[in-house]
Amino acid sequence: MKMKFKTNKSYSKRLKLTKKGKVISRKSGQNHFNAKESRSKQLAKKKTRSFTLSSKNISRFLPSN
């Protein structure tokens, strides 16, 4: 009997897998203590961040995607 991997819920809430296999996440530090930051920094944080995650890690943490 083959074991099934469970989806890591913390990863699935933070990361999104696109059709082409890119991993997209939200930039950190957006929630509070933003009053002193410059406008350009605030706008830069609103953009999504894409990065590469090896296919081994993707299949380990997000098996259902």
Predicted model pTM: 0.61
> Maximum CA pair distance of the chain?
57
Residue 20 has pLDDT above 80, yes or no: yes
Q: 24 near 49, Cβ under 8 Å?
A: yes
The stretch 38-47 carries a mean pLDDT of 92
Average pLDDT, integer, range 28-52:
89
The rounded Cα 45 to chain-centroid distance in angstroms is 14
